[in-house]
Structure 1
Amino acid sequence: MTTPLPELSGEAQALALRLPAPKMKKAKEHGFSDFQIATIFQTSETAVRELRTHCGVVSVFKTVDTCAAEFDAKTPYHYSTYDEENESVRSDRKKVIILGGGPNRIGQGIEFDYCCVQAVFALREAGYETIMVNCNPETVSTDYDIADKLYFEPLTFEDVIRIIEHEQPLGVIVSFGGQTPLKLSTKLDKAGVNILGTSSDGIDLAEDRKRFGALLEKLDIPHPDYGTATSFAEAQEITRRIGYPVLVRPSYVLGGRAMKIIYSDDSLKEYVDQALFITEKYPLLIDRFLETAVEFDIDAIADRTDCVISGIMQHVEAAGIHSGDSTSILPYYNIDPAAIATMKEHTRKLAENIGVIGLMNVQYAVQNGKVYVIEVNPRASRTVPFVGKATAIPVVKIATRVMLGEKLSDLRREFDLKDCDELGLKHMAIKEPVFPFSKFVKSGVYLGPEMRSTGEAMSLAESFPEAFAKAYQAANMHLPLSGTVFISVNEQDKNQRILNIARELYRMDFDLVATAGTHAFLTGHGIECKKVFKVGEEGRPNIFDIIKLGKIDFVINTPRGERALHDEEAIGSASVQSGVPFVTTIEAAEASVRAMDCIRCQEFGVKSLQEYATYRDR
C-alpha cells in the first residue's frame, strides 16, 4: 500500500491513494480537466489541483505556428499542453492580464470584446505589458497584434491560474469580459491573485441576491419584491406573498437565459417542472414584475470616493424586455427630472457602498413616478461602446486608469468629465437591436426577459424623430409612408396617447383597422377606422389572415397578460414573415409615428462621429 504524503491535505492524500502520479499525468495528457477528475473521483477541484501540482504535473505553453513551419513563428500567441518544453518566455516588464469574454453567444458578445481591446490600448499607453486571455478566434482581442501576449485558453480557474503563475502579473482585470470572467473573481482572490478594480467581495455583494437585498434595505432604496425557491411549493408561497405577474429565472444566467414572465400557478408549475437545475446553491429567483414600467440603464465610473455618471439610457420598450433587446435612447427623453435625480443619487450610493472601482451598470424601472432598482453589475455592460461613441468620452480608458490606482477627481479635469446631464449633447443617439426572426421564422418573435437579438445598430441625429428613423433604417426595417395601420391596445393603453397616435396617422392619410375593443374606443372619440377579428376569434378573415395577405403596412399591438401575449406571437410571426414593421408598446408607437412624419418632411444628412463629438459643450 502507498504511504500517504504528509505534506498534502487529507483530501489530497486520499485522492493520491486512488490516482497515482503516472495516471494523473496520463489523464491530463488526454484532456481531462481538474473539475472532471474531481467529479469522477468525488472529491474537490482544489484537492485535484493540489495533488497534481505536488506530483509536478503542470502544463507548459506552446507558440502557435502562424508560419506553417516555413519560418520560425515570432508571434506571441500561446496555448497550453502537457508536454516538456515551455515556449512562453516571461519578460521582466510590469504586466497586467485581461480576461476576455469567452465564446461569443447571444447575451455576451462583441461589446465586451470592445471593452477588452480598449483596455489593452489604455494599458499600453500607461506603460504596461498587456496579456490577453480569451478563446474566441472571431474576436478582435484574439488578434495577436492587439495585446503584447495572447493566451488562447478557456476561461476556467484551472487554465487562468496557470497563466497567472507563469506570468506573475501585477494584477488581473475581470470586469471587461462580462459575466464569464466575473465569476472567477472569488476563486482568484482566494488564490492570492490581485484583482484590479472592484474587489471580489464587492462583486459578490452585487451578485448575491440576499446580500444585495440587505444592502438595498439598509440604503432605503426601493426594489421589486422578490424571493428564492428550490421547489414549486416554495415558489408558490413567494408568488402568494408578492402577487402575479412574476419574473422567474435560474441563478447565474447570462443574457436572460431561461427567464420568463409568469401569470399563474399553472404556468409556474410548468416552469419549475421543466427547470433542469434548482438547488440550495442555485435557487430559482422570483421577482415581482413591474408591468408598464419604463426601464433605464445607467453607466458610471467610480473609485470608492467619487462617481461619474457617463450615460443614462432610456428604453423605448416597457419593462420586461431584456436590455439587450431594447431600443435605448441617449440622452433620456421625456421623463420627470425628479426621477432622473433619484436614479443618479441611488447610483452614487450603490457605487460607494459596493466599493466600485472602475465601471458599473445599474438598471432601474420607473412605475407611477416611483424608482425601483432592478440590478447592479459592477463591470462593463453591453452599453459601454454605445455610450463612449455617443458622448465622445473614452469610458473604458478612464475606467482602466482608475483600476490602476489613479483618482477619478484628477481624471475629471483631464477629460473634462461632467455628469450625464451636463454633457451638453446637442444630438440624440439611439441603439437599435437587430433580430434574426426573418431567418428563424418559427422561433417566435415576442420580446421578453430572455435576450433574442443578434446584433445592434446605432444612429445619431440632431433630433429624436430623425435619430429614430435612422435607427429603423440601420436595422434594415422600413417604416411605411402610406397604407394601412393595425391597432390593438390593452385596456390601460386606451387613453389620450393612443388617440394622439391614431390622429397623427389619420392626418398622414393612413387607413386604420382595429380589433373590437380598440375599434370601439377610437370610433367613440371620433376617429374613423375599420373593425377586424382577433386571432382565435370566430369569423374570418382575422388580423393574422389580413397581415399574411399583405394588406397591413404597420402594426401597433400592446399585449398585456398571458393570453394577449400568446395572440401577439401569432401577429408578430405574421408580421415578420410578411416584412411588416411592428411595435409592442405605446412608447415605441409614438416614436415610430414621429419618425414616419420626419421621413415624409425632410431629407437626412450624414455626419461623422467626430463631427457629432464637437457638438458637446465644453
Structure 2
Amino acid sequence: GHNLPCTHSETGRCFMTSQNHGFAVETETLPKDWKVLFSNENDKTNEGIIHEKLPYFSVQFHPEHTAGPTDLECLFDVFVDAVKIYKNGGKCVIDSMITDRFHFVPSLQERPKKVLILGSGGLSIGQAGEFDYSGSQAVKAMQEEKILTVLINPNIATVQTSKGLADKVYFLPITPEYVEQVIKAERPTGVLLTFGGQTALNCGVELKKSGVFEKYNVKVLGTPIQSIIDTEDRKIFAEKINFIGEKVAPSAAVASVEESLLAAQQIGYPVMARAAFSLGGLGSGFANNEEELKNLAQQAFAHSDQLIIDKSLKGWKEVEYEVVRDAFDNCITVCNMENVDPLGIHTGESIVVAPSQTLSNREYYMLRNTAIKVIRHFGIIGECNIQYALNPYSEEFYIIEVNARLSRSSALASKATGYPLAYVAAKLALGIPLPKIKNSVTDVTTACFEPSLDYCVVKIPRWDLAKFNRVSTKIGSSMKSVGEVMSIGRNFEEAFQKALRMVDENVTGFDPTLKQVNENELREPTDKRMFVLAAALREGYTVDKLYELTKIDKWFLEKLKNITDHYVVLSSQGVISLENLKKSKQMGFSDKQIAAAIKSTEIAVRKLRDDNKITPFVKQIDTVAAEWPATTNYLYLTYNGVSHDIDFPKDYTMVLGSGVYRIGSSVEFDWCAVGCLRELRKQGKQTIMINYNPETVSTDYDMSDRLYFEEISFEVVMDIYNLEKPDGVILS
C-alpha cells in the first residue's frame, strides 16, 4: 500500500513510504551485528535492517517509487556515497551516515499548565463557523492533556463558549487591550493564536510586538510568531520562497506609466495591473499588450500613486495542500484539493474537489515535495495551508500563498478526510511528536499518515447576494460567500449534484433549464455560472468551446456533459427503464429531478425505486481506504456500491442539523444541534446526526454515535430513516 509510516530506529523520525511487500523480517532472529533500521509505525513490524560494521543495509519499501512519496530518496545518496568512500579506501559506517542525515534538534518549550486560546470573535463574511470548530477541538485536545484552558471569544452563538468545554470563558473583544487584561488576571503560561482566524493572529502579532507576552512570560505555542509574520508580509514571503529555489508569481510596484511598461516587458504579457491602497480593486484589470496597459495605467494613476504589475495567471489551475509538521520535523500532507474554477477566483468562492482529479502523479508529488520544503523552511509547527497556481500546459507552478493557521480550507480538509486537523495541531503545539498521536478514526494506527480516499468530495460555496440591493453578482478575488456545503460520493457526478442541492433546496441538481446561455457570464463568473454552463451544454456547446470561455479543466467539463447528456436520455423516454433509473441514481440524480425529466412525481419515482430495491448503500469514511479496520461512525450514502459497511441495530434518536450557513441562519443553530446531541447522550440515548456543513462542530464525528454527511431532504432523510429505523427524529 501507499503512505505507510516508517520510523527510523535511531532518531525516531517518521517518513511516508510506498510498499508492495506482504512479508517482514522477524527481528528476534537477526544474526549477530545486524540491527533494526526502520519499523512500521502502525503495526511495529520490521521495515529495514542494517549491519553495525559492514556497509550493508536493506529496506522493505521503495524510496524511489514513481507513484508514491519520495521522502526517503536520500537513502540512494547514502548508498552512492558509501560506494565512493569504499572505492577510495576509506572506512564508512552507514548507520551513522543515515543517522547524521536524519538528525534534527527540536526546540521544545516547557509544557504549559494553563493555556489561553484566542477565538475569532463575531462572524463575518470570510470568517465564519469554521473557527468555532477549530477552537472547540483545541479545547478538547488541551483537556485530554490535563491542561487548563482559558478562552476569549465574545461570540455567544458558538459551541466553544458553552458550559462544559473550556475551563474559563471571557466574553471580551479580541483586541490587545482586553487580551492583556485577561493575561494579567489569569497568568497563563502558553497561548494558542492559530485557532481564531485572522482576528486572533493579528491580535497576537500586536501583543508580541508590544512586548506583552514577554512581560507576563507567556509562550506562543506551535508556530513561532516570526513565521506567521514571514508568511503574511508579501515582500519577506517572496524572498524566503526564492531562497529555497521556489517561485512566487512575479510582480513589481511602479510609480509611472513608463515604469509600468518596463516592468510588464520584464514580467511578460499578459499582466494584471492593480492600483495599490485602493478599495475593492479600483482601477485594476488585465492587459494583453502595451496599448491596453497604457490605458489601464493612466486610469489607475488617477486613483493611486502606486501601481502593482503582476504576471497574469488567469486560467491556471489552483491547487492547495494541507500540510502538518511537528516539533521533531516529521511532515505529512493530509489532503490535496483542486479548484474546479481556475485561478482568479478566491478559493473560498470556488467549487473545490478533493482529492484532486486532473493532476498527474508527477505533478501531485512535485507539489507535495514543495509543500513539505516550504513548511520546513518557515519553521511552522502544527498545520498550514499552501496554495499553488499550476500551468495547465506544463509543469510550471507558482506558490500563491501560505496560511500558517487553520482556515476554512482546513475545516474542509478535516471533514473530507476524517483527519482531525485542529485537534492534531493543538497537540503538536504542546511538543508531542506526530507518530505518538493516535488516529482517532481507526483507533489503532498513528496520526502520522496521509489519508487515502476511496471517494470524491465536492465543496460548493453559498452566496446570499439576492438579499442585498445593487450588489454585483460577479465573483472574483475577494470573498462574498457566507457559507459552504460538502458532499461525498463515489464519483464526481454524484458528489457534484448532491452538493448543488445542498446549497439550495429549491434546485434539483445540475439543471439546464434554470438559466439562459450567456457567454459573458461564462467568461466572467457569477454565483450562478454553473447553471449557465448546464444550459450551454444542453444547447450543444462543445467542451473545447466551453474550455475557451471558462478555463474550467476539460475533465470536469466532460463529467458535467455526462449529466446533461443523461437529461436528454431521460426526457426522451416515456417510461423509465430500471437500468436507466439505477444509472440516474449513480450519477447523483434525485427522485425529484428524475420525476421532472420524465414528467412524473417524486413519490411515484420513489415507489418504483423501493419496489425494485434500488436503494442507497451506507459507506464509512475510514481514512485508510480499507487498509486497516476502521471503527468510525462517519457515514455517507451512495448508489455506487454493492453492500453496507455497517449494521443497523436500531434504538437510535435522529437529529437533523441546520445545513448550510446563510444570512439569518448560521452558527447559532449549530449550537442548538450540539446542545441537543449532548443532552441526549446524558440521557443515555444513542444519536444519529444528519448534516452537510463542513464548518460545524455538529459534523465532528465524536459529537454523535453516527454521523451521516448527507443532504437534508425528504428523499435522503427517509432513506436513512428506513435503514436505521430510529426511535424518533428531532427537527428543531
TM-score (norm 1): 0.64
Inter-partner Cα distance in structure 1 for 2:297 and 2:126: 24
Tell me, yes or no, if the aligned pair for 1:427 and 1:612 is still in contact at 8 Å.
no
**In the alignment, is the contact (CA less than 8 A) between 2:517 and 2:535 conserved in 1?**
no
- Once the two structures are TM-superposed, the CA of residue 195 in structure 1 deviates from its matched residue by 0.7
1:400 aligns with 2:382: no
Say whether 1:215 aligns with 2:240: yes
CA gap of 1:485–1:590, structure 2 versus 1, over 3 A, is: farther
What are the Cα deviations for residues 558-578 of structure 1, in whole angstroms up to 9, with x where unaligned?
658xxxxxxxxxxxxxxxxxx
Out of 377, 387, 390, the position equivalent to 2:403 is 377
Distance 1:377-1:484 versus aligned 2 partners, 3 A rule: closer
- 1:467 equivalent among 485, 495, 500: 495
Q: For residue 321 of structure 1, what is the aligned residue in structure 2?
A: 345
Q: Tell me which of 555, 561, 564 is aligned to 1:593.
A: 561
**1:587/1:228 CA distance change after superposition, 3 Å:** farther
Q: Which amino acid aligns with 1:404?
A: L
**Matched position secondary structure for 1:416:** coil
**In structure 2, do the counterparts of structure 1 residues 439 and 311 end up closer, same or farther at CA, with 3 Å as the change threshold?**
same
Q: Describe how 1:40-55 pairs up with structure 2 within 5 A.
A: none
Aligned equivalents of 1:229, 1:159: Cα separation in 2? 40
CA–CA separation in structure 2 for the residues paired with 1:231 and 1:454: 39
Gaps of 5+ in 1: 1-92, 493-500, 523-555, 561-582
Paired position in structure 2 for 1:575? none
Q: Which residue of 1 aligns with 2:381?
A: 357
Deviations 1:43-92 (Å, cap 9, x if unpaired)?
A: xxxxxxxxxxxxxxxxxxxxxxxxxxxxxxxxxxxxxxxxxxxxxxxxxx
- Say which of 617, 627, 632 aligns to 1:617: 627
Aligned match of 2:359 in 335, 346, 365? Answer: 335
Q: 1:183 aligns with which of 186, 202, 205?
A: 202
- CA distance in 1 between partners of 2:158 and 2:309 (Å): 35
The alpha carbon displacement at 1:249 in A equals 7.6
**SS of residue matched to 2:431:** coil
What is the correspondence of 1:13-32 to structure 2 with a 5 Å cutoff?
A: none
- Check the 8 A contact 2:275/2:301 in 1, yes or no: no
Select 2:510's aligned residue among 463, 467, 479.
479
Q: Tell me, yes or no, if the aligned pair for 2:127 and 2:197 is still in contact at 8 Å.
A: yes
Q: How much does 1:144 deviate? A: 4.3
**Worse-superposed segment, 392-401 or 602-611:** 602-611
Cα deviations across residues 547-591 of structure 1 (Å, max 9, x unaligned)?
xxxxxxxxx69658xxxxxxxxxxxxxxxxxxxxxx977666444
What letter is aligned with 2:333?
I
Is the contact between residue 437 and residue 447 of structure 2 (CA under 8 Å) also seen in structure 1? yes
Q: Check conservation: 1:468, 1:595, Cα contact below 8 A.
A: no
| Shift of residue 286, structure 1, vs aligned partner | 5.0
Q: Which residue matches 2:44?
A: none
The separation in 1 between residues aligned to 2:398 and 2:192, in whole angstroms, is: 30
Q: Does the 8 Å contact 1:262/1:268 carry over to 2?
A: no
What residue identity is the alignment partner of 2:223? Answer: T
Alpha-carbon distance between aligned partners in 2 of 1:231 and 1:135, rounded to the nearest angstrom: 46
Question: Displacement, 1:241?
Answer: 3.9
- CA distance, structure 2, for counterparts of residue 425 and residue 559 of structure 1: 32
Question: Residues of 2 paired with 1:182 and 1:609: CA distance?
Answer: 38
**Aligned equivalents of 1:239, 1:336: Cα separation in 2:** 32
Work out which of the residue numbers 410, 416, 435 in structure 2 matches 1:390: 416
Aligned residues: 446
5+ residue gaps, structure 2, are 1-111, 288-292, 524-531, 571-582, 589-614, 629-732
Cα drift, residue 376 of structure 1: 0.7
1:448 is displaced (CA, Å) by 0.9
Which residue identity does 2:118 align to in structure 1? L
Q: Distance in 2 between matches of 1:151 and 1:595?
A: 51
CA contact (8 A) 1:294 1:366 kept: yes
Partner Cα distance (1:465, 1:160) in 2 = 48
Q: Secondary structure at the match of 2:461?
A: strand
Q: How does 1:536-615 map to 2 (within 5 A)?
A: 559=549, 589-596=557-564, 601-603=583-585, 604=588, 610=620
% identical aligned pairs: 27
Q: Distance in 1 between matches of 2:514 and 2:464?
A: 26
Decide whether the 8 Å contact of 1:490 with 1:558 is kept in 2: no
Query: Alpha-carbon deviation of 1:222?
Result: 2.1
Deviations 1:123-175 (A, max 9, x none): 11221121111222333333344322111122211111221121111211111
C-alpha contact 1:468 1:591 (8 A) present in aligned 2: no
Residue pair 1:313, 1:328 contacting (<8 A) in 2 also: yes
Q: Which residue matches 1:148?
A: 167
Q: Structure 1's 198 and 607: CA in aligned 2 closer, same or farther, altered over 3 A?
A: farther
| Contact kept? 1:302, 1:359, Cα under 8 Å | yes
Deviates more, 1:187-196 or 1:291-300: 187-196
Q: Is 2:484 the counterpart of 1:456?
A: yes
Q: Which amino acid aligns with 2:405?
A: R
Q: Find out whether 1:410 has 2:440 as its counterpart.
A: no
Q: SS of the counterpart of 1:183?
A: helix
**Aligned residue number for residue 136 of structure 1:** 155
Contact kept, 8 Å, 1:260 with 1:450, in 2: the verdict is no
Relative to structure 1, the CA distance from residue 511 to residue 607 in structure 2 (aligned partners, 3 Å threshold; closer, same or farther) is same
Partners of 1:403 and 1:267 in 2: CA distance: 47
- Aligned position for 2:119: 100
After TM superposition, the structure 1 stretch with the greater mean CA deviation from structure 2, 464-473 or 479-488, is 479-488
CA 1:247 to 1:329, structure 2 compared with 1: closer, same or farther past 3 Å?
farther
Deviations 1:384-409 (CA, angstroms, capped at 9, x unpaired): 22211221111111111000110123
Separation in 1, partners of 2:467, 2:562: 29
Alpha-carbon distance between aligned partners in 2 of 1:483 and 1:164, rounded to the nearest angstrom = 55
Relative to structure 1, the CA distance from residue 98 to residue 465 in structure 2 (aligned partners, 3 Å threshold; closer, same or farther) is same
Query: Which residue of the other structure, out of 354, 364, 369, is the alignment partner of 1:345?
Result: 369
The code of the aligned residue for 1:219 comes to: I
In 1, Cα distance between the equivalents of 2:349 and 2:297? 24
Amino acid paired to 1:204: I
TM score, norm. by length of structure 2: 0.54
Alignment of 1:223-372 (within 5 A): 223-228=248-253, 238-239=263-264, 241-242=266-267, 243-246=269-272, 248=274, 261-263=285-287, 264-268=293-297, 270-271=299-300, 273-274=302-303, 287-304=310-327, 305-367=329-391, 368-369=393-394, 370-372=396-398
